[in-house]
Structure 1
Amino acid sequence: MVNGKRAVNRCDHLGVAPYSDTPGGLYRAYLTPAYIAAQRTVAQWMVEVGMTTRTDAAGNLIGRYPGTTDGPPLIIGSHLDSVRDAGRYDGPLGIMLGIECVASLHAAGERMSFPIEVYAFGDEEGSRFPLAMLTSRAVAGVLDVDETEPVDAMGIGLNAALARYGAEAGAPVADDLSGFAAARHPGAIAYLEAHIEQGPLLEAEGLALGTVTAIAAQKRFQISLAGRAGHAGTTSMALRRDALATAAAMILAVEEIARAAGGQNVATVGVLHAAPGAANVIPGSARFTLDVRAATDLECAKLAETIVTRFDVIAAERQIASTVELLHELPASPCHPALMEALDQAIAAEGVPVRRLMSGAGHDAMILSSLCPTAMLFIRCRGGVSHNPAESVTTDDAGLAGNVMLRFIKRLEDMQGA
């Protein structure tokens, strides 16, 4: 049996100082002191259950449980970083359940024919640097190492952050993005990720678990607007070229278009900045992000195109210069049919109804699909809340998820011998 209570308790343990970069809530950013502290503690938990640990060139923590042969491993993983003012289970719960699966095998003296590697990915959220899933992309070998060096909100570049992290953590990490190539994995038989659902469907249907069928396609943009700053009291409304008002019109258009598209089409503006930022000055510039997601690549591209076309119309009407920059693009990622079936069978064996559902949120699994077949297990979360301190899971659901993962591992062993 997998210890779901310990998995949840360990997520709670990592939810406070010194594992957070902010005193009043949870924010664990990639390569920060809180990130280092969390890695050290998780590495200790890995060692306690018979794993050896290492840190790769991208700053990912990996625990390895040997198999009876030294072939390609099963990778179990999720991410250790968080958004600002985060909940405690988005990411870490999948890591803790991976450790608990290994703990069960180790306690029973069992080894699979294949090794098991538990990955604690460093940068899934993109909450520090504006390039999400940097570290899983490095592992999968799909990171564009020629991209411009990203810089965080404090003006610290990735290269400087890596150097500081390497010195403080004692880890031989890369000097820059090009060095991330050393983190590329040679290959795995499969990747399994357990994650809170981040949606209300399972709870609404009274189900603890669900098998993920695919991860939605995603496009993320930054829109920059250039108007003309002016005195708020002396510039008539007819003569204004207000960048912030233009951004507001565009943001409302995003909501209107995405609602009209219906289905699983969604679009979000999550960040907005305006300058010069004075109460008595008309904003002369503004920029905001646009996140577009849909079930298929085609639907995602169509929704994004419709929104950007409307932006062009709004900018022209208001005499505002508009620039749209694609920050990243992730294709829809279907899970492997045979692995979905193995998860279904493992869920049914625990006496739980089988439910398949799509993930609207992005996960490291969509990146690892470039490396090997992938599977994802969703765990019910109260109210469907995530990226929020109100995130909540039960220890019973976590234990059930861990037992399903353990059954999946053993089914994978049978599949390898078939």
Structure 2
Amino acid sequence: MRRIEALAAISEDAQGVTRTFGTPAFLQGSALVKSWMDAAGLSTRLDSIGNVRGRLVSRAAGAKTFVIASHIDTVVNAGKYDGPLGVLMGLDLLEQLVQSPVELPFHVELIAFSDEEGVRYHTTYLGSKVVAGSFDFNLLTKPDAQGISLTQAIDTMGGNAQLLPADALAADQWLGYFETHIEQGPVLWERNIPVALVTAIAGQQRVELTWQGMAGHAGTVPMHMRQDALAGAAEFVLAAEQFGVANTQELVATVGKLDVRHAASNVIPGEVVCSLDLRSADAARLATAYDELHHHAQGIADRRNLKLHWNLIQYTAPVSCAPEMNTLLAQAITESGYAVVPLVSGAGHDAVPISAVSPATMLFIRCFKGISHNPLENVELADVAAAVQVAERFLQLLFSHYSSSSH
């Protein structure tokens, strides 16, 4: 927890915690995490996308790699725990391994991913996609708000975009992946249970909707003759909410951005851009919901004599956690004296791209009222201690499962 506080003190602004990919504050935070990994006796390095990687090497012939990871970048005005808690818990686990006499049946690598939140380049999982071997090289020319390309940012960080492929862990080298993370939801808080077993991570579709009408004078255009783009967008905002409420067991739907172009109090809005964030753990339902809301939006536009541009920005498929890993993690939770609470994660995590190349599992930790992406984000010491206990038992079960005596 002292390390959490030390890392949180490094920020781009004095008020909250802000460490976005590649900034001086981010690099300072990375250096601190690397120094802790070095002090723990790990074989450490910074890779070309800025991931901090610390490794414990097994002497077993043909050993594969088990990765423990989370991220150390943040959203703007973030809390202290989203990402860093998982990294620093992993460091705690590896420190214990260094001091114990156990013979490792596989390599263990701790990774502090450089970019999960995607704030600077409006992408997600830059760090984990490099490690998974699924990085999109078309992103290298993408500029940030200041016009700095991703390639330039990588250069500034001391990396080399040409070497990114070498930073991937080959698919045949993965043994498994484990990530601990605050829940970012209120279920554990309400039930007063410290940890939960993540069974799946919801898929998501992000859409940008542009509503085009006709700007006009607020005092002279009769109500029945208006093409009010904001009124159309407002109708859709409420329709999306109602759709989410009606299908609450299957999905969530959110409009989080609304941009009224050339806004003025005496002007009928002529163009409005809004977002749609649609999430479900059921891929088929996600697809049908997407079509239904698109159809609904078009109906609103037609009825109001507006033009609608519907642009899919991002699609991420739902991910199921690996059954074998989850069985062992559930056993670790039970043997640590806690109830097994299965949860679907509505938020995305680095486990999503990693799951394409490795069996992946996640442990959620109770957080204050489920608040996240907010300076009020908080965890209790007892819950962190419970999570460390569960994670340590999980590693012991993995060792016994994969040691030569079990084969």
TM class by shorter chain equals over 0.9
CA drift of 1:180 comes to 4.2
CA drift of 1:296 comes to 0.8
Report if aligned partners of 2:18, 2:74 keep a CA contact under 8 Å in 1: yes
User: Match for residue 120 of structure 1?
Assistant: 112
Report if aligned partners of 2:48, 2:154 keep a CA contact under 8 Å in 1: no
Q: Higher mean Cα deviation, 89-98 or 381-390?
A: 381-390
Deviations 1:195-249 (A, max 9, x none): 1111121222221111111111211112222333333333333333232222222
Task: Supply the distance in 1 between the matched residues of 2:49 and 2:166 (Cα, whole angstroms).
Answer: 8
Task: Supply the distance in 1 between the matched residues of 2:118 and 2:291 (Cα, whole angstroms).
Answer: 24
Deviations 1:57-109 (A, max 9, x none): 22222111222237321100111111222111111100000000011111234
Task: Supply the distance in 2 between the matched residues of 1:153 and 1:233 (Cα, whole angstroms).
Answer: 37
Q: Higher mean Cα deviation, 368-377 or 309-318?
A: 309-318
User: Match for residue 368 of structure 2?
Assistant: 382
Task: Give 2:23's match in structure 1, choosing from 19, 26, 32.
Answer: 32
148 and 24 in structure 1: CA distance in 2 versus 1, 3 angstrom threshold: same
Task: Please tell me the residue identity of whatever aligns with 2:169.
Answer: H
Task: Supply the distance in 2 between the matched residues of 1:149 and 1:266 (Cα, whole angstroms).
Answer: 33
User: Match for residue 295 of structure 1?
Assistant: 281
Aligned length: 401
- The answer for unaligned runs of 5 or more in structure 1 is 1-7
CA drift of 1:346 comes to 1.2
CA drift of 1:149 comes to 4.1
Report if aligned partners of 2:203, 2:286 keep a CA contact under 8 Å in 1: yes
* Secondary structure at 2:384 match in 1: helix
User: Match for residue 176 of structure 2?
Assistant: 190
Report if aligned partners of 2:178, 2:361 keep a CA contact under 8 Å in 1: yes
Q: What's the % identity of the aligned pairs?
A: 37
Task: Give 1:174's match in structure 2, choosing from 154, 161, 166.
Answer: 161
User: Match for residue 57 of structure 2?
Assistant: 66
Q: Higher mean Cα deviation, 281-290 or 391-400?
A: 281-290
User: Match for residue 344 of structure 2?
Assistant: 358
Task: Supply the distance in 1 between the matched residues of 2:106 and 2:236 (Cα, whole angstroms).
Answer: 52
* Secondary structure at 2:364 match in 1: strand
Give the alignment's TM-score, normalised by structure 2: 0.93
User: Match for residue 4 of structure 2?
Assistant: 11
148 and 317 in structure 1: CA distance in 2 versus 1, 3 angstrom threshold: farther
Give the alignment's TM-score, normalised by structure 1: 0.90
Deviations 1:342-365 (A, max 9, x none): 111111222222222221111111
148 and 95 in structure 1: CA distance in 2 versus 1, 3 angstrom threshold: closer
Runs ≥4 residues deviating over 6 A: none
* Secondary structure at 2:161 match in 1: coil
Task: Supply the distance in 2 between the matched residues of 1:258 and 1:318 (Cα, whole angstroms).
Answer: 23
User: Match for residue 226 of structure 1?
Assistant: 212
* Secondary structure at 2:138 match in 1: coil
* Secondary structure at 2:386 match in 1: helix
* Secondary structure at 2:174 match in 1: coil
User: Match for residue 99 of structure 2?
Assistant: 107
Task: Please tell me the residue identity of whatever aligns with 1:117.
Answer: E
111 and 33 in structure 1: CA distance in 2 versus 1, 3 angstrom threshold: farther
User: Match for residue 269 of structure 1?
Assistant: 255
1:256 aligns with 2:242: yes
Task: Give 2:123's match in structure 1, choosing from 102, 106, 131.
Answer: 131
Task: Supply the distance in 2 between the matched residues of 1:120 and 1:59 (Cα, whole angstroms).
Answer: 9
CA drift of 1:25 comes to 1.0
Report if aligned partners of 1:124, 1:363 keep a CA contact under 8 Å in 2: yes
Task: Please tell me the residue identity of whatever aligns with 2:372.
Answer: S
What aligned pairs does 1:155-166 form with structure 2 within 5 A after superposition?
155-164=147-156, 166=157
163 and 247 in structure 1: CA distance in 2 versus 1, 3 angstrom threshold: farther
160 and 235 in structure 1: CA distance in 2 versus 1, 3 angstrom threshold: farther
User: Match for residue 339 of structure 1?
Assistant: 325
What aligned pairs does 1:197-212 form with structure 2 within 5 A after superposition?
197-212=183-198
- The answer for unaligned runs of 5 or more in structure 2 is none
CA drift of 1:155 comes to 4.2
User: Match for residue 323 of structure 1?
Assistant: 309
Task: Give 2:233's match in structure 1, choosing from 234, 244, 247.
Answer: 247
Q: Higher mean Cα deviation, 386-395 or 135-144?
A: 135-144
Report if aligned partners of 2:49, 2:159 keep a CA contact under 8 Å in 1: no
* Secondary structure at 1:391 match in 2: coil
User: Match for residue 372 of structure 1?
Assistant: 358
CA drift of 1:38 comes to 0.8
What aligned pairs does 1:87-106 form with structure 2 within 5 A after superposition?
87-106=79-98
Task: Supply the distance in 1 between the matched residues of 2:224 and 2:35 (Cα, whole angstroms).
Answer: 65
CA drift of 1:148 comes to 8.2
CA drift of 1:137 comes to 2.0
* Secondary structure at 1:190 match in 2: strand
Report if aligned partners of 1:130, 1:151 keep a CA contact under 8 Å in 2: no
Task: Supply the distance in 2 between the matched residues of 1:279 and 1:71 (Cα, whole angstroms).
Answer: 67
Task: Supply the distance in 1 between the matched residues of 2:46 and 2:103 (Cα, whole angstroms).
Answer: 23
CA drift of 1:124 comes to 1.3
1:82 aligns with 2:74: yes
Task: Give 2:41's match in structure 1, choosing from 28, 50, 67.
Answer: 50
Task: Please tell me the residue identity of whatever aligns with 1:15.
Answer: A
Task: Supply the distance in 2 between the matched residues of 1:240 and 1:33 (Cα, whole angstroms).
Answer: 49
Task: Supply the distance in 2 between the matched residues of 1:57 and 1:160 (Cα, whole angstroms).
Answer: 12
Task: Supply the distance in 2 between the matched residues of 1:246 and 1:261 (Cα, whole angstroms).
Answer: 22
Task: Supply the distance in 2 between the matched residues of 1:38 and 1:208 (Cα, whole angstroms).
Answer: 28
User: Match for residue 236 of structure 1?
Assistant: 222
